[in-house]
Amino acid sequence: MHQDIDEVLVSEAQIEAICLKLGKQLSEDYKDKNPLFIGLLNGCVPFMSALIKRVEIPIEIQFMAVSSYHGGIESSGDVKIKYDLERSVMNRDCVIVEDIVDTGATVKTITSLLLHRGARSVKVVTLLDKPSGRKVELIPDYIGITIPKRFVVGFGLDYNEFYRNLPYVGVLKPSVYIK
């Protein structure tokens, strides 16, 4: 285990099992719909990659980069689009792929935006759900695992852009961010 990690919350094996389960579910729900999976960069990268290998139907993938954190451990709730989609979502069934839903502000904002742009449907798949952090009313449609109110890193999740490459999700030692 990495020296800055207190505890592993979701192991590599658990993540693999989650992706297998969600991939199966999405394959059934989106059969014949040619869904557009929209990953929210940068955090979605490992999850998107692991998840789509388990999806057994034709899909397209696109990415958006959004920011709601300013390098700390608290979401600002102010969602900014830093990189936008390159193709239209008009009449498409969209699936937002997110690493974690905390306040809910990010996916709520992007869902409204995609619907406003003419998407036929928008659903959310998230590896982690932290419902205790919720500030807007939102229940993700597909949840990998629900976690307690802790600041976690790994498998895409960062602290000041580090730790995204850890193969598991772990709780960061507070000594790393409380100086």
Helix (H, G, I), strand (E, B) or coil at 28: helix
158 annotated active-site:
no
Q: Nearest distance from residue 110's CB to ligand 5GP, in Å? A: 9
Max CA distance (Å), the chain: 53
Q: Could you tell me the smallest distance in angstroms from the CB atom of residue 56 to ligand 5GP? A: 26
- Specify the pairing of strand 121-129 against strand 93-101: parallel
The angle subtended at Cα 87 by Cα 46 and Cα 42, nearest 5°, is 25
Least distance from C-beta 42 to ligand 5GP, angstroms? 8
Pattern of binders to ligand 5GP over 120-159, x per CB under 6 A?
----------x--------------------xxx---xxx
Residue whose C-alpha is closest to residue 129's, from 141, 120, 117? 141
121-129 and 5-10 as β-strands: parallel, antiparallel, unpaired?
unpaired
111 touches ligand 5GP by CB under 6 A: no
Q: Looking at 9, 39, 47, 103, which residue binds ligand 5GP (CB under 6 A)? A: 103
Binders of ligand 5GP in range 10-69 (CB under 6 A): 43, 68-69
Indicate the SS3 state at residue 5: strand
Per annotation, catalytic residue among 6, 29, 102, 141: 102
Residue 168's closest CA among 56, 17, 67?
A: 17
- Least separation in angstroms between residue 100's CB and ligand 5GP is 5
**Residue 114 phi, psi (nearest 5):** -65, -40
**Nearest to ligand 5GP of 103, 111 (CB atom):** 103
Measured from the CB atom, the residue of 88 and 165 that comes closer to ligand 5GP is 165
Residue 32: left (phi > 0), alpha (psi -120 to 50), or beta?
left
Residues marked as catalytic: 102
By CB under 6 A, name the binding residues for ligand 5GP.
43, 68-69, 75, 98-106, 130, 151-153, 157-159
